[in-house]
A and B are shown apart, each in its own frame.
Chain A
């Protein structure tokens, strides 16, 4: 199968690319020149697929610039059109050959009233990008699997727990109406509006009207966050909870979920003797990235450019 893109059409719609300047005196490219730049991407560069306003993408791109490499940030639509995927004789060839960092959140839940054209185009681009990222032989951070573009992370925390081989810490209820608690198993029944993501403690309902997701948790829970990248893990606090081995447990979870990069949020018991996984974020925000950048940044370079002396 060969997938081809129409270069003329691409040129008529300049991509929303942000590129870092090359180490030489090359001026910062304007949108009209980005098409040429992206077409010249090599395995010494990095393609970051993210929304145009993604702060982490900008942060990483600037970091690569500092170490003398070039990073190009493209949204999923233009990134998809960048690639040609050819399969011949049982092997795949993806061009251009460029390492990738994927920061593509799952698409929104689309109602019956949504524009089908937009939905169609998004899905087509994701499909093309999925193929390119899955088949390229160069490093891809959070490479999609053959099963799912977003790996095994689910919108349901309980389902993610199961996929990660973790015990499910609480019953999880999804409901179109405000869910009242049943048998109490913890201090507080928390209800989240799945549209606004606002979470309130029962019986105070969220401002919006649902649908809802609810779980038991502590009245004032505390968390530890572990950022994992390709076999290395960094905690975000220095609390004395080494006995919990959260970095080691996080590495195991990330491996089971098929992720390269993720931030794992663990709810730690008040006595510090237990921790339960409550969230896995394949797209850690800038705060988490910066808190662990001391180790994360150099390791990211080593992962993306394994052949070079970092």
Chain B
């Protein structure tokens, strides 16, 4: 027998705002019961909820809700601002950029790849031997299915510039771009210790962007 949901009966249980933030509603009750001190909404905890931590934290989001980062709590907005102000150092700026979508914008504008001078520069860098550093850059995702990275026009469906992950472009010829781990990696490259030796695998992985990202979220166990 057909049945139906009478939304007229269901909807009044929650306001429209609550319906959009039902997780926050649920968590707000949990928060009241918690003995957690305000100091726990630290920068370290904020980073634990960044993208990519969902499996460990069903969410970053739920943690965020717990901290009241649902936009309703001005205090938490302050915490977030502190985090972006650089109190966490350069990594914090990275996350701010990520949130601002700056990298995304860079990825899409494709300006660098429309500029023939950049291609020339790229070639020059290769001749200079810098491409060894580039290719070994542990922060660049390389598809194991071996997509043709050298196709000038790239994927016919990908956004312009997507053929080259953004941090490759930003790091070209500039190993000391402010990231301590980049400098560490540059030293490794200079000494030929770029992860080709099994003994250096850990060092290579440790210097990679993804490991830096994971460390910000805490050790994965």
Contacts and interface: CB of A to CB of B under 8 A. Distances in A.
Contact of A232 (B137, B145, B198): B145
A267 B206 CA distance: 11
Contacts of B6: 6
Interface of B: 2-8, 10-11, 13-14, 16, 18-20, 22-23, 25-27, 29-30, 32-37, 39-40, 42, 44-45, 48-63, 65-66, 98-99, 101, 103-104, 107-108, 135-145, 147, 149, 155-159, 162-163, 165-166, 195-196, 198-199, 201-202, 204-206, 208-211, 213-214, 217-221
B216 to A, nearest CB: 10
Contact of B141 (A196, A267, A292): A292
Interface of A: 1-6, 9-10, 12-13, 16, 51-52, 55-56, 58-59, 62-63, 66-67, 75, 77, 81, 105-111, 113-115, 117-122, 124, 128, 153, 155, 157, 170, 190, 192, 195-199, 201, 207-209, 213-215, 217, 220-225, 227, 232-241, 247, 263, 265, 267-273, 278-288, 290-298, 301, 310
B201 A272 contact: yes
A250 B156 CA distance: 27
A124 to B, nearest CB: 7
B218 A235 contact: no
Given A234-B143, A291-B210, A294-B158, A1 B220 contact: no
B165 A268 contact: no
10 contacts: A12-B11, A63-B159, A75-B20, A105-B54, A111-B30, A196-B45, A222-B211, A234-B142, A292-B143, A294-B147
Nearest to B16: A13
A239 B138 CA distance: 7
A237 B194 CA distance: 12
> Could you tell me the dominant secondary structure of chain A's interface residues?
mixed
Given A3-B4, A294-B163, A297-B155, A281 B54 contact: yes
Q: Which 9 A-B pairs have the closest CB atoms?
A: A285-B51, A285-B52, A272-B201, A295-B143, A281-B55, A291-B141, A9-B7, A117-B13, A199-B218
B52 A238 contact: no
A174 B148 CA distance: 46
Given A107-B26, A235-B142, A301-B157, 6 more contacts: A77-B22, A118-B14, A198-B45, A220-B206, A281-B54, A284-B52
A108 B62 contact: yes
Q: Max chain A CB contacts within 10 Å: which of B13, B55, B158?
A: B55
A282 B52 CA distance: 10
B52 A287 contact: yes
Contacts of A281: 52-56
A299 B31 CA distance: 41
A221 to B, nearest CB: 6
Contact of B54 (A67, A157, A282): A282
Given A2-B3, A119-B26, A278-B221, A235 B52 contact: no
B210 A225 contact: yes
A222 B204 CA distance: 9
Nearest to A209: B35
A279 B55 contact: yes
Given A108-B27, A121-B10, A294-B163, A236 B55 contact: no
Nearest to A232: B145
Contacts of B165: 290-291, 293-294
A214 B221 CA distance: 8
B219 A190 contact: yes
Contact of B4 (A4, A195, A283): A4
Contacts of B5: 3-6, 124, 128
B30 A114 contact: yes
B53 A197 contact: yes
A287 B98 contact: yes
Contact of A9 (B11, B137, B211): B11
B202 to A, nearest CB: 4
B220 A279 contact: yes
Q: Max chain A CB contacts within 10 Å: which of B14, B136, B138, B139?
A: B14
B144 to A, nearest CB: 4
Nearest to B104: A59
Q: Max chain A CB contacts within 10 Å: which of B57, B141, B204?
A: B141
B106 to A, nearest CB: 11
Contacts of B11: 9, 12-13
A157 B221 contact: yes
A278 B141 CA distance: 20
B84 to A, nearest CB: 15
B26 A115 contact: yes
A196 B37 CA distance: 12
Given A59-B104, A236-B210, A272 B202 contact: yes
Given A108-B62, A115-B25, A283-B55, A265 B138 contact: no
